[in-house]
Structure 1
Amino acid sequence: MRKGDSNILLWTILIVGLVFMGSVSITVAADDPEARAIMQRVDARDDGDNQTADMQMVLIDRSGGERLRKLATFTKDKGPNTLRLMFFLQPADVKDTAFLTIDYDDPAHDDDQWLYLPALKKTKRIATTDKSGSFMGSDLNYSDLTDRELEDWDYHFYEKGREQTFDGVKTWAIWATPRSKKVVKETGYEKELLFVRQDNDFIVRSIHWVENSADLKYMLVDRLERIEGIWVATQLRVTRKKGKQTVHKTILTLDRVRFNQNLDKAMFSVRKMEKGL
């Protein structure tokens, strides 16, 4: 069964936001074996298999205007790799848009992503160089929707205190710094500050320094639930700020999360994306 933390970020997905405001400077430090061991536990955490869920995506602009999108999501392990598929159901202007990701366990193999646009009747393969781009107008980029390769990052503890407590829950505060400019280009982030719950190895907060920008992206798990023994972020808030000014916000909510469903691996294909649900 595939282990990982990517569902934090998408349909549970990945990753996730914070309380610090403004810019934080750090001194680049060597990889810390203790911090890396924590991130290895995060990566190895059981995220379930054969998952289905309903997703609601709310896009909020700087004036408070909202746009609501509804999706159906599916996740399946195929050997050591993970397959993820989502279909947009509402509103009409994005209905039948589909997105497919194949997350390869082999760090030498770039993950594959495709986006089907029904209005153009065209499927677009997301190039590695385009993965830092916004996903469907949200505050998530394409790289947020795949697992992170531990080998691409150095990890060390936050120098102002490796332990941080939020709402009575203890976390480890860990810097993640890319090991190459290639990783920066692919992810769109110059560095990240991650907050890992000590009791279940789940990233519940994070800050991301956006490449070539004064913007910071804050990700925060507003609701974390244990479903069929699996920890799932059922509500995730992603806020993009310039200084103290909110530029945009995305709220993701998962409902009817189910594991061990009867999902055929043949479903996770470009053909199925184009055919629809």
Structure 2
Amino acid sequence: SISEMEMILIDKKGKKRVRKLKTYGLEKGQDSLSLMFFLSPADVRNTGFLTFDYDESGKDDDQWLFLPALRKTKRIAAGDKSGSFMGSDLNYSDLTSPDLDLYKYTLMKETEVKGHKVWQIKSVPKTKAEAKKSGYSKSVVFIRQDNLVMIRAVRWVYKKKRNKYLDVRKLEKIDGIWVSTELHVTTKSGKKTLHKTILKQNNIRFNQDVVNEELFTIRRLEKG
């Protein structure tokens, strides 16, 4: 897949910064590969991010960040995955799917969100190491029953008195695939908003010939 993305960062005073990105994605067997480049503004232009999201249980996902100003590619170590991705409200760990075997899931109840029936599920990491790595001590997620898409979540930030609220504002079916085309992520302490990120995806195209395995390499990451 290929898409254009807008990342809007809003601080607690309401000041906005807008970043534009181009993203590429490929499913390789059960694994997911993704590559994104920042196009603007100038201070982040050509910054690249490459992810190998492995399906195999127990196998750590691989992530690399290319910083053009330093001409340097940095591998995101497991201990850094709870860090903020490019100043947003998303952690590096949010950009891959969780290893299901490392979490305990409990169905809390069936309810409705925006007129859709959902399962409300609590997810708790089985170990302190996983909580520390992901950056969250627990999550409550809301999964739509008709299409199995997560449309809302609340996450408890590990060892901090703050929560993150994820809300899918727009969900579209493109070529038979459900895509979250607008996602809001808000970090709060109690009722006070600390920071917010809005992600909007446009011009999503699936099954593009240019998206092949050769695209998802560190060499390509550094070319921009």
- TM-score interval (norm. to shorter): over 0.9
Aligned to 1:234: 181
Other-structure match for 2:30:
80
Matched, 1:180 2:127: yes
How high is the TM-score relative to the length of structure 1? 0.79
One-letter amino acid of the structure 2 residue matched with residue 62 of structure 1 = K
User: Match for 2:88 among 130, 135, 138?
Assistant: 138
1:147 CA displacement:
1.1
1:256 Cα deviation from its structure 2 partner? 0.3
Q: CA deviation at 1:109?
A: 1.4
Are 1:96 and 2:46 counterparts?
A: yes
CA distance in 1, matches of 2:115, 2:29: 38
Residue 66 of structure 1: aligned partner = 16
Amino acid at match of 1:134: S
What is the distance in 2 between the residues matched to 1:231 and 1:77? Answer: 15
Residues 179-213 of structure 1, C-alpha deviations (whole Å, 9 max, x = no match): 11111011000000000001111100000000111
Tell me, in whole angstroms, the C-alpha distance in 2 between the residues paired with 1:240 and 1:105.
Answer: 28
- What is the SS of the residue equivalent to 1:186? helix
Provide, for residues 1-56 of structure 1, a one-character-per-residue CA deviation record: whole Å limited to 9, x for no partner: xxxxxxxxxxxxxxxxxxxxxxxxxxxxxxxxxxxxxxxxxxxxxxxxxx110000
Shift of residue 225 of structure 1? 0.4
Out of 215, 218, 223, the position equivalent to 1:270 is: 218
CA distance in 1, matches of 2:155, 2:202: 27
Within 1, Cα distance between the matches of 2:125 and 2:151?
20
Among all aligned residue pairs of Structure 1 and Structure 2, give the percentage whose two residues are the same amino acid. 52
Distance of 1:216 and 1:58 partners within structure 2: 19
Deviation at residue 264 of structure 1 after TM alignment: 2.0
**Aligned partner letter, 1:83:** L
What is the number of equivalent residue pairs in this alignment? Answer: 223
Q: Secondary structure at the match of 2:86?
A: coil
The 2-side partners of 1:206 and 1:234 are apart by 16
* 2:168 alignment partner, SS class: strand
Unaligned residue ranges in structure 2 (runs of 5+): none
Aligned match of 1:199: 146
Matched, 1:108 2:58: yes
User: Normalized against structure 2, the TM-score is what?
Assistant: 0.98
SS for the counterpart of 2:44 is coil
How much has 1:155 moved relative to structure 2? 0.7
2:173, 2:179 within 8 Å by CA — same for their partners in 1? yes
In structure 2, the residue corresponding to 1:185 is in which secondary structure?
helix
Q: Is the 8 A contact 2:58 2:99 kept in 1?
A: no
Cα separation, 2, equivalents of 1:107 and 1:145? 17
User: Which AA in structure 1 matches 2:150?
Assistant: I
Tell which deviates more after alignment, 71-80 or 217-226.
71-80
Structure 1: 5+ residue stretches without partners: 1-50
Query: 2:164 aligned to 187, 210, 217, which one?
Result: 217
Letter in 1 for 2:50: L
In 2: Cα distance, 1:167 partner to 1:138 partner = 26
Which structure 2 residues correspond to residues 21-32 of structure 1 after superposition, within 5 A?
Answer: none
Q: Secondary structure at the match of 1:201?
A: coil
Equivalent positions of 1:120-139 (< 5 A) are 120-139=70-89
